[in-house]
Structure 1
Amino acid sequence: MNKILIITHTGDNFSIEKVTEYIDQNGCEVIRFNVDEYPLKNKLSTTFQDGKWTTTLETPDKKHRLDDIAAVWYRRAYNIGSGLREEMDEKFYGAAMGEIRNTLFGFLESIDVYSLGKPSVYRRLDSKEEQLKIADKIGLKIPETCVTNNPEEAKQFIVKHQNVVAKMQTGFAIYEDGVENVVFTNVVNEDKLEELDTLLYCPMQFQKKIEKKKELRVTVVGRDIFAFEIDSQQSDAAKIDWRKDGVNLIDKWVPTELPSDVEAKLLELLDVYHVDYGAIDIIVSPEDEYYFIEINAAGEFFWLDNLTEGNMISKSIADVLCDKAPRRSNEVLVQNA
């Protein structure tokens, strides 16, 4: 029985269970590695001796061999080393966490089987600038964009385009008194030019504001495309960034069809990155022009999966992992003939 390793954490949502159900139906076994339980509860060991590499994962429930797995789904790596700070001298904590991360990510990078996501892939896809350059090169329409920490450059861009949105390039939140305050996309106009002087300390991405007929979330798994749309303009809070009112809009998404040329270019985008999963944000203008905004290497899909008959996004992920659907080969080494 082929074994599929899922890298996640104890607080992940029910999408793990849905994908696991389909993996079971495909006749494969799931090994779940909760990284927040590493290293205090999970023990990971890799050994080379007698000419062979072996890797074992020992969880509170079972000891698993990982050197003979068939595929990996690198889903999430949240809260690595949870609880460790309370267990050791503070002066050693930073060094220990560095070793823990290096060991875990080194293991994930070196696995010589098919992997749906890797730390290095996620890091590459963190570059919004590269995303936009590749999207533009393959023919996807993108907004006018400026990425800078130069206040004068930003001011000139805003004056030229008048309606501009500013956004961070990473998932960004500010914590005050234990409360998470997510930094959403916001409109910046000429009235706020003087506030841009602090840009010197932290670069931002500015884009010409695209009027929205609708917004799309397109989940691509292998060669399968699942497109959904929402009229984000029905909510005042969501007009600029639908995530601001995401909870109230969660049941307002509906399946949609993409133009064939847009579908082809999105698949080409995943070909360039050599990945089999991407959650893509698109704005459709009143003139029916499709603007690529970004691709998320591990973007959420569970709320859209619930809108498909039989959780088809989860099934597609399971089929790719179990080699039941076309996928882009990404083993570390070429297999011996």
Structure 2
Amino acid sequence: MILIVSQHAGEHSTEEVIDWLDHKKADYFRLNGNDLIEHCNFKIDVANNEATLSFPEREIELSKVKAFWYRRWLSGAYHYSKYEELMDTPFNKMRFSQKLNSELLKIKEYLRSSQKEKPWLSNMEKVKVNKLDVLQKAKKYGISIPETIITNSKEEVIKFKNEHGSIIVKAISEAMMLSKNGTSYSAYTAILTSEIIESLPDKFYASLLQNTVDKEYELRIFYLEGDFYGMAIFSQNDNQTSVDFRQYNHQKPNRRVPYKLPKSIEDKLTLLMKDLDLNTGSIDLIKSKSGDYVFLEINPVGQFGMTSGPCNYYLEEKVADFLIEKSA
């Protein structure tokens, strides 16, 4: 049996893999983080390392699960929105939400630790990678990275821009997304112009700066247990997407084509993934106009449909086959 550990919404890649599992008549079950609150009765016997999840349609014994796929778990805002009426101040609502999240987090961590000897696609303990640590390790394995600094000083920003000419600013951790009145807003990588720098205070919140890489095209690479499925994105041909292709132009989408990395780059990326203890993930690179492959970051649990569809890789079926093989 396969257990898919996920969240209840926003999981397009997960749902398409499940379609293939259904087609292949695989034995699987999907456990969303909110199921432990809303949809099942469960008992975890810690002393005997036994756990049973009782749903109306099925009872799951963890001892009978042969393979796991970790996607995500629970939206950080879940408890805040669900129980906000219990608290009368924003601070208490936030603290209460954080406490409930931490309680469920410990259950999730125990799920992994108690079953860690079994096959897992995506190591639950490693999916929250530190972007800075990953950049440093990439360089250790001979992979080019942008010049990168973190600073809170306007003076240092000016020095960095004078040294590199064009520079960008991006999130140190994951990019934030907000919603209002049915519209979503996301933080993007952006050019830090002289005008923006001039408007900065002398000290500001810590920010990550990198030199702008003169790119020929961007690369999104899906990695699955030693295999690479690459896609070139010609984002630089459109001013809207030239800095960050995630600022999608839906009227005139970027051209996207299958791409094969040089073996020397694949070998270095394989060493990096093994060092990070990741057997899958989406890797972002830039092919520079000088011919260099410049590493940007890894998303261990990113959606991979955007690579699968345009390149006809059928990654959803490949993931399903991987899980079926590991659960045999």
Structure 1 residue 111 displacement after superposition? 2.2
Query: Does the CA contact (< 8 Å) of 2:123 and 2:279 recur in 1?
Result: no
Greater displacement, 75-84 / 265-274: 75-84
Q: Read off the aligned partner of 2:238 and give its amino acid letter.
A: S
Task: Give the structure-2-normalised TM-score.
Answer: 0.86
Give the corresponding residue for 1:149. Answer: 152
Give the corresponding residue for 1:332. Answer: none
Greater displacement, 29-38 / 87-96: 87-96
Query: Does the CA contact (< 8 Å) of 2:218 and 2:287 recur in 1?
Result: yes
* Whole-angstrom CA distance in 2 between matches of 1:181 and 1:161: 30
Give the corresponding residue for 1:227. Answer: 230
Give the corresponding residue for 1:315. Answer: 317
Query: Does the CA contact (< 8 Å) of 1:159 and 1:190 recur in 2?
Result: no
Structure 1 residue 301 displacement after superposition? 0.5
Task: Map 1:178-189; keep pairs closer than 5 Å.
Answer: 179-189=183-193
Task: Map 1:163-174; keep pairs closer than 5 Å.
Answer: 163-169=166-172, 170-174=174-178
Aligned residues: 317
Q: Read off the aligned partner of 1:107 and give its amino acid letter.
A: L
Q: Indicate how the Cα distance of structure 1 residues 111 and 8 shifts in structure 2: closer, same or farther if over 3 A, else same.
A: same
Residue 238 of structure 1: which of 241, 254, 260 is its match? 241
* Whole-angstrom CA distance in 2 between matches of 1:146 and 1:239: 22
Query: Does the CA contact (< 8 Å) of 2:67 and 2:120 recur in 1?
Result: yes
Query: Does the CA contact (< 8 Å) of 1:144 and 1:207 recur in 2?
Result: yes
Query: Does the CA contact (< 8 Å) of 2:39 and 2:55 recur in 1?
Result: yes
* Whole-angstrom CA distance in 1 between matches of 2:11 and 2:251: 19
Q: Read off the aligned partner of 1:291 and give its amino acid letter.
A: V
Gaps of 5+ in 1: 326-337
Q: Secondary structure at the match of 1:307?
A: helix
Structure 1 residue 256 displacement after superposition? 1.1
Structure 1 residue 102 displacement after superposition? 2.4
Structure 1 residue 279 displacement after superposition? 0.4
* Whole-angstrom CA distance in 1 between matches of 2:262 and 2:220: 14
Residue 72 in structure 1 maps to residue 68 in structure 2: yes
* Whole-angstrom CA distance in 2 between matches of 1:266 and 1:63: 40
* Whole-angstrom CA distance in 2 between matches of 1:11 and 1:266: 31
Give the corresponding residue for 1:40. Answer: 38
Q: Read off the aligned partner of 1:35 and give its amino acid letter.
A: G
Structure 1 residue 203 displacement after superposition? 1.6
Q: Read off the aligned partner of 1:235 and give its amino acid letter.
A: D
Structure 1 residue 157 displacement after superposition? 1.0
* Whole-angstrom CA distance in 1 between matches of 2:84 and 2:196: 44
Task: Give the structure-1-normalised TM-score.
Answer: 0.84
Give the corresponding residue for 2:216. Answer: 213
Give the corresponding residue for 1:10. Answer: 8
* Whole-angstrom CA distance in 2 between matches of 1:41 and 1:89: 24
Gaps of 5+ in 2: none
% identical equivalent positions: 25
Structure 1 residue 249 displacement after superposition? 6.2
Residue 101 in structure 1 maps to residue 99 in structure 2: no
